[in-house]
Amino acid sequence: MISTKKELRYYLDQDLKALGISNRKKPKWFGDDIWKYQICLRKLEYYTNTNSKVFKHIYRYLHKKKGLKLGFDIPVNVFGPGLRINHFGLLIVNSNVKIGANCDIHQGVNIGQNHDQYDVPTIGDHVWIGPGVKLFGKIQIANGISIGANAVVNKSFTEENITIAGVPAKKVKEAAFKLEQKQAVQ
C-alpha cells in the first residue's frame, strides 16, 4: 500500500523496470498507454491512501478513463510493486484480491470472488499469469508460479516455482532450476 512519496517513487520505478523501459523517464506523447495507465493507478493509490481530496478525484477520473479505453478494471491497493501488464484488453480484478510483487499479467484475465465478498485469491510474488486465465475463490497461489493460458484456477497451489495449467488447473511442471537442484542432490 502506497502511503508516502518515497513508496510512490519506488512503485513507479519497479513498474517501469517490469515493463522493460530503461531509456526513458516519461511516457511518449502518443503510445505507452499501459505505462500511462499504471502511473495513474499508482498515483490514485497514493492519493487515496493519503486522503488527498482534489488529486484523488483527478486521478480517479484519469484511472477510469484510461481503464475504459484499455479494457482494464483494476482497483487500487491490489498489486504490489513491479506490475507488468503485457497487452491491452479485458483485465478484471476484484478489489479484495491481494497480489504480490513482480506480477506479469496478460489480457483476458479475470481474478474474482466465488460467493462471499472476501472469497477471493491471494497471489504471491513473481507470478506469471497467462492470457485468458480465470482465478476465483478463497485460494492461495505461491511465489514463482506460472499459470498457463486459459487455465481455470479454483484451488490453492502452495508449492513454489511450478507451472500450472488446464481446466481445472493442475501442476504440469516444476521450475527448471528446481529440477537441477534435485538432480544435484541425487
Cell of 186: 541425487
Residue 137 covered by a domain: yes
Percent of the chain with pLDDT over 90: 83
Residue 77 covered by a domain: no
Same domain, 147 and 114: yes
Residue 151 covered by a domain: yes
Mean pLDDT of 97-110: 96
Same domain, 2 and 66: yes
- β-strands 170-174, 162-165 pairing: antiparallel
Same domain, 118 and 167: yes
142-145 LR contacts (CB < 8 Å, sep 24+): 143/100, 144/175
Element (H or E) spanning 122, and its range? strand 122-123
Residue 164 has pLDDT above 50, yes or no: yes
Residue 83 covered by a domain: no
Cβ contact 171:163 at 8 Å = yes
How many domains does one find in the chain? 2
CA-CA distance, 175 to 177, in Å (whole number)?
Answer: 6
Same domain, 57 and 144: no
pLDDT class for 182, splitting at 50, 70, 90?
very low
Side chain identity at residue 77, one-letter code: N
Class of residue 83 by CB neighbours under 10 A (exposed 0-12, middle 13-18, buried 19+): buried
pLDDT class for 176, splitting at 50, 70, 90?
low
The domain spanning residue 136 has which CATH number?
Answer: 2.160.10.10
Question: For position 97, what pLDDT does the model report?
Answer: 96
Same domain, 159 and 109: yes
Highest mean pLDDT: which range of 28-32, 78-82, 182-186: 78-82
**More confident: 174 or 167:** 167
0.75 exceeded by pTM: yes
Same domain, 101 and 57: no
Write out the residue range of the structural domain in which residue 49 sits. Answer: 1-71
Mean pLDDT of 116-135: 94
Question: For position 179, what pLDDT does the model report?
Answer: 46
